[in-house]
Structure 1
Amino acid sequence: MTEPVLPINREVKDLEADKLLGFQMSVAGIEGITFLTFGEPGFDTPTVVKEATKAAIDGNRSHYGNSQGEPAVRQAVLDYMKDRYDLDYPGIENVVITLGVTEAMQAIFKTLLQRGDGLLIPEPAYGSYFASLSLAGGVAVSVDTTNNGFKLTPALVDEAVAKATVPVRAVLLNYPSNPTGVTYTEAEITALAACFKKHGIWVISDEIYSELTYEQEHFSIGKLLPEQSLVVNGLSKSHAMTGYRLGFILGSADVIQYVQKVHGSLTYSAPTFIEDGAVAALKMSRQDLQYMTDSYEERRDFSRQALEELGFDVVDPEGAFYLFAKIPADFGTDGWAFAEKLAHEGKVAVIPRAAFSHFEDANQYIRISYAASQEQLTEGFAKLKAYVEKARANR
């Protein structure tokens, strides 16, 4: 009898493992370690959302829902995006409700890209993008933004398109950024929009951290390129609803209808009781949620000062809840090695830049999340200080 061969799809077999998750798993078993790694809001889901979700369950809202999203939640998304960012779409046919941003990206990549098409990705970038792109058959056209304040510019776009060996069909923006915390001004977005229009490049704009900006209001590129962009957002970060897995995509109905076909084949629909909870979340005012932003800003300032006092060069953190910092020169240029030693000897977990980038000549950076509680941050930075000072004293 012939032994069966395990029929693993070649693209899945060759799929690059997520380095961020891999690093976290590698240090997870260290006794007494303090994690400053997770992009998990350090708050509970608002009570009004929990109550609406529980009421939906009690009301037997547990049957199949509308695959594109219940009309009520899609209308709430339209109202929310209009109120927050002055984005104006004609109707609920312009919205798809997804299971978080990760599923949204998979649906969009599969919709917009033919096998072998290129996607411009400013790096460093969230690692999950690359796996989703690979599964869709797309090709990453990576752009190193290190020397441009970690921002994409029209000049970098022009250069990348000119040098690309594959047809560049779209660009992926993520702002405020994970992992750098940088964001774009209205003037910068306007210049980029003109560049994308010139090249005929579709824009995929991941704006999941749009509510978490500190010195300026978020400006969505969807305002400038409504017929050439897909805006992705959700409730995980803004409303501390990571476990609810509720995201949404907005765009022209001409393209949304095809995104919906892919989304429907991936997940069919989000749970109806989760969507009811999402309606309650989307109806909350910005003032209702301001306590989160204010607290993150305080934690950002505390964390930044702690790093700078130890000699870290911190990228200006304009949004999200991450600090991207270059390790002190006396610790070398290998951020991965630094993060490993810090975890094992200093009992603090941070994420090295190499988890977010394919460029090897600027890996002396680490990412720290300040979404953790103030108590956890205080503990983590005390350990970091002790590790750095001990290492310097022993030289």
Structure 2
Amino acid sequence: MEHLINQRVKTIEISGIRKFFNMVAHMDDLISFTIGQPDFPTPEHVKKAGIAAIENDFTSYTHNAGTIELRKAACDFVEKKYGLNYNPESEVIVTMGASEAIDIAFRTILAEGVEVILPGPIYPGYEPIIKMMGAVPVHVDIRENQFRFSIEMIKPYITDNTRCIVLPYPSNPTGVSLTVDELKEIADFLKDKNIFILADEIYSELTFDHKHTSIASFLKEKTIVINGLSKSHSMTGWRIGFLFAPENIAKHILKVHQYNVSCANSIAQKAAYEALTMGMDDALAMKKEYVKRREYVYNRLSLMGLTVVKPDGAFYFFVKIPEAIHLNSFDFALQLVNETKVAVVPGNAFSKYGEGYFRLSYACSMETLEIGLNRMEQYFKKWS
């Protein structure tokens, strides 16, 4: 029966991040710098709220868009943190993680043959959904601009078919953010164009050198903001995301969401409410530790002679593979893990513009980072 499977589904592949992780996860004594999973536990008060939800039998369907108390809390959170104003009644949807928010946004705004402009390298979670909608992903090479997406780079790719531009900042895999001026330039250029912006801001609470700014603060009427609690509150498994959009857009996305999952997990919604109200600054302690790790990893990689852009958000380094190593990114990562038992993600998992690089996640303890980087240093010494 496989010949009857949707051809668009048959042509997409499992994420390169997961593919490589699954290949090496069985190895003994493995140091894994692969998955973007915070190594901090979910805050205790948030876990207790989830337990209380179960004990109080809060286990039924909620409103399709999420409980009104959680939607109000989410709107209050982004207003206090980023100056964004959304109506909790009609302009926010609680989703099953940021991934579902991306999916339902694309399924609402895309159609056959339209184009979506994305920076490259980029997280691999967008392109498969775009292709399944019959739309066309258009990658823009940002490698020579310190991984920054600028309006001058975007302009040549705008066509009559352009439907959406993806702004995933802070970025996975590079950790780079855009400045206020860069965002405003993009907003000014797009304000008179019939083009959506999908702003994936899941790492918004993990910016290190400046406060996060959302492009929605300049161009709310065209922007769909994706956020959630996976990274800010170490709640990856709770699967709570948020989609913010003007009512005339959100009301259509809600229909797709309703037929997709009905509503987000009721128990996780109670925990999320606790996170956004009593744990508004829970990310600060984690961020402080990430800054220490960033400085340590940056210094170690630099001393190894590796070319690396210092990230200002998230918890990743996107590192250029030395020219002396005549291997593609996948074979390099395979050789590295076989020789050192250190796993990184090959750059080609992040589009063709990630080829020649590897991603290192520093969402792990300083002890683990030291052991893994010591092993990597020995590996790179033989190529220097």
Please indicate the TM-score interval, normalised by the length of the shorter structure.
over 0.9
Q: Which residue of 2 aligns with 1:138?
A: 135
Greater CA deviation, 29-38 or 264-273?
Answer: 29-38
Answer yes or no: is 1:384 the counterpart of 2:381: no
Q: Which residue of 1 aligns with 2:328?
A: 334
Answer yes or no: is 1:369 the counterpart of 2:361: yes
> In structure 2, what residue type is equivalent to 1:379?
I
In structure 2, runs of 5+ residues without a counterpart are none
Q: Secondary structure of 2:352's partner?
A: coil
Equivalent residue runs for 1:23-62 within 5 Å: 23-62=20-59
The alpha carbon displacement at 1:387 in A equals 2.0
TM-score by length of 1: 0.93
Q: Secondary structure of 1:41's partner?
A: coil
- The count of residues paired between Structure 1 and Structure 2 equals 384
> In structure 1, what residue type is equivalent to 2:372?
G
Q: Which residue of 1 aligns with 2:153?
A: 156
Answer yes or no: is 1:296 the counterpart of 2:293: no
- Contact 1:106-1:136 within 8 A present in 2 as well: no
| Alignment partner of 1:234 out of 225, 228, 250 | 228
Q: Secondary structure of 1:313's partner?
A: coil
Q: Which residue of 1 aligns with 2:266?
A: 272
Equivalent residue runs for 1:286-325 within 5 Å: 286-325=280-319
Q: Give the percent of matched residue pairs that are identical in Structure 1 and Structure 2.
A: 36
> In structure 2, what residue type is equivalent to 1:385?
E
| Alignment partner of 2:179 out of 185, 191, 201 | 185
Q: Secondary structure of 1:107's partner?
A: helix
1:286–1:75 Cα change, 3 Å: closer
1:358–1:183 Cα change, 3 Å: same
Answer yes or no: is 1:346 the counterpart of 2:333: no
Q: Secondary structure of 1:176's partner?
A: coil
The alpha carbon displacement at 1:364 in A equals 1.9
Cα RMSD of the aligned pairs, angstroms, is: 1.6
The alpha carbon displacement at 1:202 in A equals 0.8
In structure 1, what is the Cα distance between the partners aligned to 2:30 and 2:64? 42
The alpha carbon displacement at 1:149 in A equals 1.5
Q: Secondary structure of 2:12's partner?
A: coil
Q: Secondary structure of 1:233's partner?
A: strand
The alpha carbon displacement at 1:9 in A equals 1.6
Answer yes or no: is 1:86 the counterpart of 2:83: yes
Greater CA deviation, 74-83 or 288-297?
Answer: 288-297
> In structure 2, what residue type is equivalent to 1:78?
C
TM-score by length of 2: 0.96
Q: Secondary structure of 1:224's partner?
A: helix
Greater CA deviation, 372-381 or 224-233?
Answer: 372-381
Answer yes or no: is 1:249 the counterpart of 2:243: yes
- Contact 1:119-1:169 within 8 A present in 2 as well: yes
Q: Which residue of 1 aligns with 2:117?
A: 120
In structure 1, runs of 5+ residues without a counterpart are none
Deviations 1:177-229 (A, max 9, x none): 00000001111100011122243311000000000011100000111111111
- Contact 1:333-1:363 within 8 A present in 2 as well: no
Q: Secondary structure of 2:220's partner?
A: coil
The alpha carbon displacement at 1:316 in A equals 2.0
Greater CA deviation, 324-333 or 371-380?
Answer: 324-333
> In structure 2, what residue type is equivalent to 1:171?
I
1:68–1:21 Cα change, 3 Å: same
The alpha carbon displacement at 1:171 in A equals 0.5
- Contact 2:21-2:35 within 8 A present in 1 as well: no
| Alignment partner of 1:72 out of 65, 69, 74 | 69
Deviations 1:133-180 (A, max 9, x none): 222222101111111221111111110115xxx711111110000000
In structure 2, what is the Cα distance between the partners aligned to 1:102 and 1:90? 22
